[in-house]
Chains A and B, each alone.
Chain A
Amino acid sequence: GDSVTQMEGPVTLSEEAFLTINCTYTATGYPSLFWYVQYPGEGLQLLLKATKADDKGSNKGFEATYRKETTSFHLEKGSVQVSDSAVYFCALLSGGYNKLIFGAGTRLAVHP
């Protein structure tokens, strides 16, 4: 079945460092791909999305490119801030019922 694999955390960075969180997927067809962010004690917020190969999603300085050839959707940010500390989830939209398949999440901690 469809699945998403994310790099394990926690990822610990200093402020202004470059961020990459790896995400690869297994799916039939051409799913839509998402990154969600979860701040402590809260629900998930959509960070960005891409709906077809070579699309680049971007928001708040974060970017991810839908790579069909490597089945990847890695999240990047050029300069992280303390306020970016959160758990990041990669997800794909599976099948005909809008079913989201989530990765396990990657915790990011940014220190001043």
Chain B
Amino acid sequence: DGGITQSPKYLFRKEGQNVTLSCEQNLNHDAMYWYRQDPGQGLRLIYYSQIVNDFQKGDIAEGYSVSREKKESFPLTVTSAQKNPTAFYLCASSIVPVGQGNEQYFGPGTRLTVT
């Protein structure tokens, strides 16, 4: 079945450590996205990529980094510079070129807890 895989589902880290969240898709989508979700809030865009080896900052990119070396993969690193890293992280993908109604497909999410 085609879809988006995020692993692990739950992740625990100590403050000051970098951590990388995995996102893999087999939908053959060119575009991929990372969102952050905090309790009682909507999703906020961290980074997005429309093509391999290219990515753009979203609204809250500070303290995060990404890479896009393969079409299928878009890992997100939460660095120690991110002041409030505890959150639910969602990866998404969509087809390109962008057109009306090109919906994004979401993975199941990774819940990161930093103590």
Residues of A within 8 A of B (CB): 4, 32, 34, 36, 41-46, 49, 51-52, 89, 91, 93, 96-100, 102-105
Contact = CB atoms under 8 A, between A and B. Distances in A.
Contact of A49 (B4, B31, B101, B105): B101
Contact of A45 (B6, B56, B106): B106
A104 B41 contact: yes
Contacts of A97: 48, 50, 56, 98
A41 B44 CA distance: 18
A32 B42 contact: no
22 contacts: A4-B42, A32-B100, A32-B102, A42-B108, A43-B6, A43-B90, A43-B107, A43-B109, A46-B104, A93-B102, A96-B98, A97-B56, A98-B33, A98-B48, A98-B104, A99-B45, A99-B48, A100-B33, A100-B104, A102-B44, A103-B42, A105-B42
Given A98-B96, A99-B58, 8 more contacts: A36-B106, A42-B108, A43-B6, A43-B106, A44-B43, A97-B48, A100-B33, A100-B43
A45 B107 CA distance: 9
Contacts of A103: 42
B: contact size bracket? 20 to 34
Contacts of B40: 104-105
Interface of B: 4, 6, 31, 33, 40-45, 48, 50, 56, 58, 90, 92, 94, 96, 98, 100-109
Given A89-B43, A96-B98, A102-B42, A34 B103 contact: yes
List the 7 closest pairs (A to B, CB-CB), nearest first. A102-B42, A43-B106, A51-B101, A44-B106, A51-B100, A98-B98, A43-B108
Contacts of B33: 98, 100
